[in-house]
Amino acid sequence: MLGGRVTAERCAQIGLVNRVVDDEPDRENVDREAFKLAAELAAGPHFSLRMTKRMLQQELDMDLDAAIEAEAQAQAICMQHPDFREADQARVGKRKPLWK
């Protein structure tokens, strides 16, 4: 809020970013890491990731009470999706989930 710079390391420390990638001496390292992250997301639960993106966008214009209610509704919807049961079965079976 004061306009001060925040280092990449500090951003990682406080959870503002998922990871910090060194771009020296090879800028392609950044691209490799970006593709790894994209693949990790693509292998995740599509429905809940889509819901998360939708909620982040919608909640920009909501007050706190409305956002909390919207989150509760979104969670209830996600819990009805087959991926919710699959996540639990995969955890119990100690295997990777097979998303729908």
Q: Note the pLDDT tens digit of each residue in 77-86.
A: 999 999 999 9
**Nearest alpha carbon to residue 78 among 33, 56, 46:** 46
Q: How far is 12 from 6, CA to CA, in rounded Å? A: 10
Q: List Cα–Cα distances, 38 to 5, 42, 44, 46, 91, in angstroms.
A: 27, 6, 10, 12, 23
Residue pLDDT, tens place only, 24-38: 777 888 899 899 999
The reply to whether the predicted model has a pTM over 0.85 is: no
Q: What is the DSSP string of the chain?
A: -------HHHHHHTTSSS-----SS-THHHHHHHHHHHHHHHTS-HHHHHHHHHHHHHGGGS-HHHHHHHHHHHHHHHHHSHHHHHHHHHHHTTS-----
Domains in the chain: ranges and CATH: 1-43 (no CATH), 45-100 (1.10.12.10)
